[in-house]
Structure 1
């Protein structure tokens, strides 16, 4: 009888240990990061950047990647916040931070990528030296893009803005020298490619230039872009140290990524970390 009881106790102990082991295994499976991921972007050059320069690198690391394209600048962050996608690429840091604050989201820029710069385009002049006194310049009518336009015009030597002005909020009222007496025409940013035909000069943001099939390298002057205006891969803050986040950064920092940028995204301005 004692032998039988001892045997039963041993059997129960073994069963309990096995069950605990199985539980540990299942828990480990639940917490392991999945290799099936979904990335989001607005249709256009940044969707292409994911397709051609980032996703291939992730696939080499064993990921199965689904790409979702969005038609506006709202849904990509909504989808990221709810976990429907794992990362997105379409926005610069300033927009991301403002959107996250206004919508009570905890999102983080992971890494800055090459970005299509604003350009000063003209069908009237072939060089900056040709620009005549009183030339008209179409500029964006929203404060963020307007600041970029005036900074770019200053870089082109066409005007001077006050040294006290914040580069992120520069406007026409900050212009202290305008030797060519340029006339500024504020226009909705999406209409600026068309303004190339009607104004002497037009300051066109890169994304709108590409959408209008314009060649970035045709610009008389390309923007010397502040990194805060360059687009970023964004993730939920809680995932910024995940293995996926590390792998995305490694892919973007690779020589293969830079080669695709040089070959297929000519005119895109590289962030400081790529130039150093």
Structure 2
């Protein structure tokens, strides 16, 4: 009987240890998640996670894996299925549109410094030199095209209809074209190459950096509306999770901003960062 009792106790102990091991995978003793798989598009935003966010989370005791994506679809699909825990690559307009279209429950956590769109030229050294009738390549998708028109308005080259939302303005909403610019819509990814063939090109920051362009070489950088700054996103169901709160705290830390200032020159900071 003693041997039988000892064997039962031993089996129960082993079973309990095995159960604890399986239930705590990626979690600490209190059941809190301590492993984070962070998705980001390859380039500046995966760099931002790796250099500016991951070290702070590791100081908090997390193990952080960075998964890189090459398109703007898979990061949200992977987030919705739980293959990753958070992502960083998109602005609010895209996040809300994508989530609605694909019926996903995704939410923003915090906005981050974002590479701004800029007007680049190999023809002119400044916008003051822009000649009448010059050609300008702009993104052919409505969201980024609207951003290009806003930069041109800020530069005093065009005037837009004030009754139209800044998120949806297009060429048809140009009331005044001071230099009679000729707009040439092309794929956003091709805009860095277009700098060689047109007088001006409105290049989104992520594509400029991918082409190894210097953001500060732009004749004008956009005064980016906060809706267009990239966000950390998670599943809506995880918004109140401790790991999400710790991601937000990491991004809002002084250490994060110090890394941005040192490693991400030219990135436009969100309002919460500039106003604190």
TM-score if structure 2 supplies the norm length? 0.89
Q: Distance in 2 between matches of 1:148 and 1:36?
A: 37
Unpaired runs of 5+ in structure 1?
Answer: 1-21
Greater mean deviation of Cα atoms: 126-135 or 113-122:
126-135
Q: Corresponding residue for 1:105?
A: 104
Q: Distance in 1 between matches of 2:71 and 2:134?
A: 34
| Alignment size in residue pairs | 255
State the Cα deviation string for residues 134-178 of structure 1 (Å, max 9, x = none): 111111111111100000100111111011111001111111111
Aligned counterparts, 1:43-192, within 5 A: 43-192=42-191
TM-superposed deviation, 1:84:
1.1
Q: Distance in 1 between matches of 2:94 and 2:31?
A: 32
Q: Distance in 1 between matches of 2:144 and 2:57?
A: 33
Unpaired runs of 5+ in structure 2?
Answer: 1-15
SS of the equivalent of 1:197 reads: coil
Q: Corresponding residue for 2:237?
A: 238
State the Cα deviation string for residues 24-49 of structure 1 (Å, max 9, x = none): x97x9687222122111111000000
Q: Corresponding residue for 2:259?
A: 260
Task: Judge conservation of contact 2:33–2:243 (CA < 8 Å) in 1.
Answer: no
State the Cα deviation string for residues 201-244 of structure 1 (Å, max 9, x = none): 00001111011110000000001111111100000001111111
TM-superposed deviation, 1:113:
0.3
Q: Distance in 1 between matches of 2:64 and 2:184?
A: 44
Q: Corresponding residue for 1:7?
A: none
TM-superposed deviation, 1:78:
1.1
CA RMSD of aligned residues (A): 1.9
TM-superposed deviation, 1:94:
1.0
Q: Which runs of 4+ in 1 moved over 4 A?
A: 28-31
Q: Corresponding residue for 1:197?
A: 196
Q: Corresponding residue for 2:8?
A: none
Aligned counterparts, 1:29-48, within 5 A: 32-48=31-47
SS of the equivalent of 1:134 reads: coil
